[in-house]
Structure 1
Amino acid sequence: MLKEINLPESRFSDPKIEGLRRVNYIFGKNGTGKSTITRDIYEQQNEEFNVQIFQGFSNIIAENKELNAISLGEQNTDITKKITKLKEEIKSLADEAILASEKEARMKRILEQKKRVRAEFCRGEAKKINGRCYVDKTLNGKHILDYEIDDQHKLNGDELDKVKKSISLEKKVPLSKPFSNTFDLDAIIQKLKEICEREVGREVSISINRNAENWVETGIELHKTVQSEEDVCLFCGQLMQADRLRELGNYFNKEILQVDSKLNELKDLVEKVRKILDDFTPYEAGDTYPDFIKPLNDLNEICLQFINNLCTALNYIEEKIEEKNLNKFDKVECDFNFELNPKKVDDAFRSLNDRMAHYSENIKINEDKARRSYQKHLIREVVTSKQFIDLNAEYNSQNTLFENCEGEIEHKREAKKTKEEKLEELINEYSNEDIAVQNINKGLSGLGMDAFRLKYIDDDAEGQYTIESNSGETRSVNELSTGEKNIIAFLWFINKLNVYSVDEREKIIIFDDVVDSNDAASQYLVISQLQNLIKSTATAQIFILTHNIHFYMQLKPTSPQYKDKPNKTGDLKPSREAFFKFQKAGDKTKVLKITSSKQDVSTIYDELWSDLIFAKSNQRINLMFNTMRRILESYSKFIFGIGKLAELNEMIEKNTGSIDDSVIYSAKLKLLHVNSHVGYETDSDLNDIQPEKLYEAFKQIFYDLGESSKKHFNRYSSEAEKNYN
């Protein structure tokens, strides 16, 4: 369906008409570009759409009064035989296509059965996977069918174990430090170096063997209880000499005691460090997340290497302590050259803890990632299983058979289409005049009193018709009026729309000022035909362009849907009709899309004047009475605030100054009032009233109501006359 029309800049101020619907009503006065739109639709859309245009009789009835679109005269026998043969061939192809369609239907049923079996298998497997590994959305069979095999989704033993462990993780606490900070290794080394480099001055002349110093020192401590020279030595039993004891005491002076104290302190520190190292327990896999097992093992390795190196260093420190203990007065060489690197331990520990902390913050994301990885692994296992491969192969094989059937049907259809096109060429060489004339005469019978019919002249003048009235009188086709020619052409056009055609393009049907000069009976016949066409057409798009207000108002729906409306689900349901108005704006035309009754072509009051002119022109006395009464009531109520027609007498008397005149007009007003409500049983009473005289009386009422009322009448009546004509 056409959604928009591009407009020429030379005629229109708008670049395009948008919002087209299935039925499009376009109202515009003559000269606003309606025929231009008709031409543009044909030129822009004729390749894509089957555009059918009615613009009056000139394109249908030739100058010699022949219906040139209907081939009259004897049917060509040769063409008839060809058509008969083609129809038989088309029927044969149609029958073959039916058989092929039945075969296709069987293949399709089998295909659907294969498809259901495969789908049920996939749904069952999807349900199993959901039970083992549910992700954010429930997996269904379609996900498995749409999956494309990717070897990267396959998980090996370690990867699979890691993913399974990651699916249900608990948040891990940070790792505790591998070693406490209660010892300062650098301080211990510094103390060792200081004590080893320290020399102690000797204050006595005696010399004691280094191996015996500790023994002697212990002996001095034991002999602190000696009070006199009569006391004997606890070791040898000889008398203790006071000066000897004093000299031995001086040997172990205060500085020596300080060295002893520092050595003992150093020993305690070494023992403390050993205790800390002994307390170290390697980290276990459960202390971290599955993603960090390797970094955890690396940390354990670094810690154990550090312990080994440190124990070697402590052994060296203890050796130096013992050596210094034996050589308190002298320096002891201390070359501490061990690569302990405690920072490496600290860096590895902190790095792993930081990574674990970040992982803990995103544990849900990581868990979802593991679930997806596991789910893809499980899906891959399904689609690579023998059962799925077999089911898929069966489906694909059956689908190939089904597509072959489709190809066969398409081949039959193409062959049928080729013959139908040939048939259309033959049909276009002549039209079935009997059916066409029957349809036209059926339509002409709807003219009532003015009805006539076409009668074929059975002589050598092919395509010539005479006109036969209801009374049986005949007249030449040359006597056809413009309105009669127009209605014949219109009925032929309507008939043509229903003629057999193999053109499968969507139709666009355009009626351009279809009632330009028709009389009243023809207008109602055209309106009736168009309303039937609109009602019965579901696929064609219709454009109706007119300048006739009465025709426009009578043809459009009683309750137009100007806008799209929401349906039960809340979505906008497009209206079936669209309404447009062409208005002159300077030297160009502006397109107004009518979206409400207020924007539509006319008000009710405007329509009353149009109805009055229509009724007068078509001798509709009853309609004139009712319309004139409604016009006067609307006018008097709006201008004078008078609710009843009788009250206009005072206004008339005031303006004319004549009681006799007011009486006359009172009688006229009463005539309007009474006869506007006349029933069908009294219609005949009005036959003697002349519409022109009644209209003149109506005009005089406005003239005698004053100058402004006179101008009002002239403006509205002239506008209605112009629109009608």
Structure 2
Amino acid sequence: MTTDFKLIIIGDAMRIDLSDEQIFIDNYLELDKPINFIFGKNGTGKSTITKLINEQIVDKDVRIYQGIKSVIANGKLNSVVLGEENVAAQKKIEAYEKEIVELEDSKLNFEAEKQDWKDKIISKNTEISRQSRKIKSFYSESAKKIKNNPLHIAVPSYQSPNFEKELKYAFHLSENEKNDCRKYLKTDEKIAKKISIRKNNFVEILETTNSLLESKVEEEQCVIRLDSDDKKKFAQTGIEIHERGEICSFCGNPIPDKVFDELETFFSVSKIKKFETSLENKIREIKQIRSEIKSITIKEDDFYLQFHDDIRNYKDELETIINEQDRFLTTLENALVSKFAQLFSASTLISTAILPKSSEDIILKYNNIVECNNSENLPWLKNFSRDLLRFDLIHTYVSKSDLNSQLKQLSLLKNEESQLIKKLSESENEIEKVEKQISEIHSKILIEMEKTRSEKKLANNINKKLKLYVPFQLEHVEAKQGNHQGYYRIKDVFSQNDEYRDVNSLSKGEKNIIGFLYFIEKLNEQTDSQLDKIIIFDDPMDSNDDMMQYIIVTEIQELMKQIDKNKRNDILIIMTHNVHFYINVKYNRLYKDGKDRNGAHKSGDKFIRLQKTDFKTKFKILDSEGQDFSTSYELLWKELRFLYEYDRPNLMLNSIRRIIETFTKFNKIDDFYKDNREAQKLFNVNSHSIDDLEADLNGKNKEQIVGLLKECFKSNGAERHYQLYWRSSNK
């Protein structure tokens, strides 16, 4: 069965596929930092992770250190093809370096131009900021006035951005329009009533009225003396107010029964009564119509302002028609009232010329306005009125200011800045071109340097670091004819007969430190490969390597410094089961982006704990130092005692510095050294890295160093503290 491995790399992040490995609970491991720490006991899968990265990687140069066996073959340290310095190649290198110098000069000129454009952009940006502040100040002041307007035409949170956003809506309102808007803000809900449409047929009313006017009560018998309507009316009234046997109110004589019988026959009571009832009914009908017509009223206050003009017009028109109808009906009513005096004769008819107009059309129009008015959204009207008043104020403030010219000036400044940025970009492009040329020449130099490289340099660098710690040194044996590789052998430093030892004859710790330093030197070696590296230290410390731990820790920390400063684009993975080594190698590293203990800003690293659960490994991501092992104060003292016992005064200084740092921070002591400047200089300045081990850092032995430390504690009133920790460190 063939397995296709995939390693996903995004920027500095790697996702390792673990799906085919039964040992892990998770299907993948993500390493998303340039520097990654993985702690796990033996058997938790560290070597498996190393193997998977090496198998899955496709576009990185993977370098793995797993102890001396990873750099030794057949008893000899692996080496590269050798070759002495080639004169022709050196001449080419010198020519290339001369080109680089010229290009660097050109680059400096372009960088000077770039800086000049940057300075001008900064200056221009200052002008833009000043101009922007001026405009924003106007926006802010105007917004404040609008927000504080007594009509409350803006929301309480109205500020400069709101004003700026609404500039495009600014326009002028007339005084009448502003007054209307103000009225809307004070307006309550308006509900108008419709007018019921009564379809009065005035033609029919006129016809029925004329019919009554031309009608008369017919006489039953002739009474010659009643030869006029007035006399007939007089006689009718007399019979109505007198009873039989009474005295006539007019002449004072008794009224004979014969007269009563004559007049009752003349005046047919039933016919008269019927005719009068018809007149009364018609008059009542006309009065009712008049009352209904006159009850029609239109109240302008029942309508919102936008309908007032139409309502006024309809009101005037309707009042004219109503008056006309009322006059017409009054004429009919008066004619019918007069008819009571002419019951026995036909009256003059009323002409159709006085027929009034119908009010139906105008009432329909009015009722339509009522529907529109009653369907209005008053909250929306009020908000719209506030908006209009606010936009009018914006227009007013802008009109009284020189905003347009200020905006024009700002636009001009921004255009000038754009031109400067364009010039800056051109300079940067030129610099990029030069850098590309320099990079290409460097590549050519690397090709030539491969012809001049010698493994002797590598052996010298390793020996420089080993000199103070082991009684031997590396010696490189050049390749014999027909063999493309040389090899290393171990030479006793104190031997008078140039005795050599096989690599396998060294102790485990000695072999490990040689292999480790060889690996470090090979990392720094120039190669044809342009790929970035993934550097893996898989348990670089053996349990018996305590004496060499400090060299290994310092070398790895130096590697981390290069990555921190972006001098290398590599990814570093440190895996170990050794707690003591783990605590020391991660000293002053950060779990999150921030400042380290020296106040320098750094990016955080990745910290992973491998934990066994039911025979499987799970990953625990550590987000803070509190979740991790910590370098205890007691451990620092034990470390100092260890170095003291092995007589390593140079390495003791680093431990002392960290003891003092912890003690002074905890006790908030600013002047720990007081007047002891010798101790201050020694413990602060001379705490060098392992890079300079061949130098005599201080000229003092271990007892003198410990004595100085004791004096420092004594001068701070902490002699008892010193004695307690120094004695306990020996247990």
Correspondence 1:354-373 to 2 at 5 A: 354-355=375-376, 358-360=377-379, 362=380, 365-366=383-384, 370=388
Name the aligned partner's letter for residue 7 of structure 1. D
Are positions 1:440 and 2:468 aligned together?
no
Post-superposition Cα deviations, 1:88-119, rounded to whole Å, max 9, x if no partner, equal: 13421331232122212222123213322431
2:433 matches 1:414: yes
* 1:68 maps to which of 52, 72, 79: 79
How far apart, in 2, do the equivalents of 1:302 and 1:438 lie? 113
Q: Percent identity?
A: 18
Cα distance between partner residues in 1 of 2:12 and 2:28:
12
Please state whether the residue corresponding to 1:395 is helix, strand or coil. helix
Instruction: Pick from 508, 530, 537 the counterpart of residue 511 of structure 1.
Output: 537
**Deviation of the 1:123 alpha carbon:** 0.5
Whether 1:25 and 2:30 are equivalent positions in the alignment is: no
**Structure 2: distance between partners of 1:339 and 1:550:** 106
Is 1:391 the counterpart of 2:420? The answer is no
Q: Which residue of 1 aligns with 2:6?
A: none
Q: What's the counterpart of residue 19 of structure 2?
A: 9
Q: Give the 3-state SS of the residue equivalent to 2:360 in structure 1.
A: coil
SS of structure 1 residue aligned to 2:98? helix
> Which residue, out of 347, 351, 354, partners 2:372?
351
**Alpha-carbon separation, structure 1, partners of 2:629 and 2:75:** 39
Letter of the aligned partner of 1:111 in structure 2? K
Shift of 1:81: 0.8
How far the C-alpha of 1:324 sits from its partner, in A, is 4.3
Alpha-carbon displacement from aligned partner over 1:5-44 (angstroms, at most 9, x marks no partner): 2323211442222475564332456676534533554676
CA distance in 2, matches of 1:432, 1:68: 10
**Is residue 2:108 matched to residue 1:78?**
no
**Distance of aligned partners of 1:458 and 1:597 in 2 relative to their CA distance in 1, 3 Å threshold:** closer
Q: Which residue of 2 is the match for residue 401 of structure 1?
A: 420
Secondary structure at 2:49's aligned position in 1?
Answer: helix
Equivalence for 2:573: 543
The range that moved more, 95-104 or 527-536, is: 527-536
**More helix, by proportion:** 1
Distance of aligned partners of 1:221 and 1:531 in 2 relative to their CA distance in 1, 3 Å threshold:
farther
CA distance in 1, matches of 2:102, 2:424: 21
| CA separation of 1:174 and 1:503: change in aligned 2, threshold 3 A | farther
Q: Which of 529, 533, 539 pairs up with 2:555?
A: 529
Partners in 1 of 2:623 and 2:403 — Cα distance? Answer: 60
Q: Evaluate the alpha carbon distance shift between residue 161 and residue 386 of structure 1 in structure 2; reply closer, same or farther with a 3 A threshold.
A: farther
The equivalent of 2:699 in structure 1 is none
Q: Deviations over 1:202-254 (max 9, x none)?
A: 3634899xxx9799759976998898669479xxxxxxx98897757959933
Shift of 1:404: 1.8
Contact kept, 8 Å, 2:18 with 2:27, in 1: the verdict is yes
Picking from 105, 110, 130, the partner of 1:92 is 105
Does 1:579 find its partner at 2:608? yes
Shift of 1:130: 0.9
Structure 2 distance, partners of 1:406, 1:258, is: 110
154, 158, 172: which one pairs with 2:187? 172
Distance 1:220 1:528 in 2: 147
**1:348 to 1:411, Cα distance in 2 relative to 1, 3 A:** same
SS in 1 for 2:494: coil
Distance in 2 separating the partners of 1:443 and 1:514:
17
Secondary structure at the counterpart of residue 317 of structure 1: helix
Residues 36, 458 of structure 1: alpha-carbon distance in 2 compared, 3 angstrom cutoff: closer
Aligned letter for 2:375?
Answer: D
Change (3 A) 1:207 1:488: farther
For the 8 Å contact 1:6–1:16, the answer to whether it is kept is yes
Q: Secondary structure at the match of 1:170?
A: helix
Is contact 2:593-2:604 (8 Å) kept? yes
1:404 aligned counterpart, secondary structure: helix
Q: Which amino acid aligns with 1:444?
A: L
AA aligned opposite 1:471? F
The structure-2 alpha-carbon separation of the partners of 1:2 and 1:40, relative to structure 1 and needing over 3 Å to count, comes to farther
Q: What is the aligned-residue RMSD (CA, Å)? A: 5.9
| Maintained 8 Å contact 1:483/1:522 | yes
Say whether residues 1:288 and 2:310 are aligned partners: no
d(CA) in 1 for partners of 2:503 and 2:530?
Answer: 40
Match of 1:637 in 2: none
Q: List aligned pairs for 1:253-268, cutoff 5 A.
A: 253-262=272-281, 264-265=283-284, 268=287
Q: Indicate the residue corresponding to 1:704 in structure 2.
A: none
Moved more, 487-496 or 55-64: 55-64
Relative to 1, partners in 2 of residues 1:217 and 1:9: Cα closer, same or farther, differing over 3 Å? Answer: farther
Amino acid at match of 1:68: S
Count of aligned residue pairs for this structure pair = 573
Please report the TM-score for the alignment, with normalisation by the length of structure 1.
0.60
Structure 1: gaps spanning 5 or more residues: 234-240, 566-572, 621-679, 682-725
Give the whole-Å Cα distance in 2 for the aligned partners of 1:505 and 1:140.
53
Q: 1:178 to 1:577 in 2, by over 3 A?
A: closer
Deviation sequence 1:282-316 (CA, Å, 0-9, x none): 459xx635xxx1x4433444444444444444344
Between 13-22 and 331-340, the greater mean CA deviation after superposition? 331-340
Q: Distance in 1 between matches of 2:320 and 2:158?
A: 54
1:111 to 104, 108, 124: 124
Per the normalisation by structure 2, the TM-score is 0.60
Distance 1:561 1:248, change over 3 A: same
Question: SS state of the match for residue 113, structure 1?
Answer: helix
Cα deviation, 1:417-466, whole Å, max 9, x if unaligned, reads: 331243144236345978755543343246x3x35434567999996655
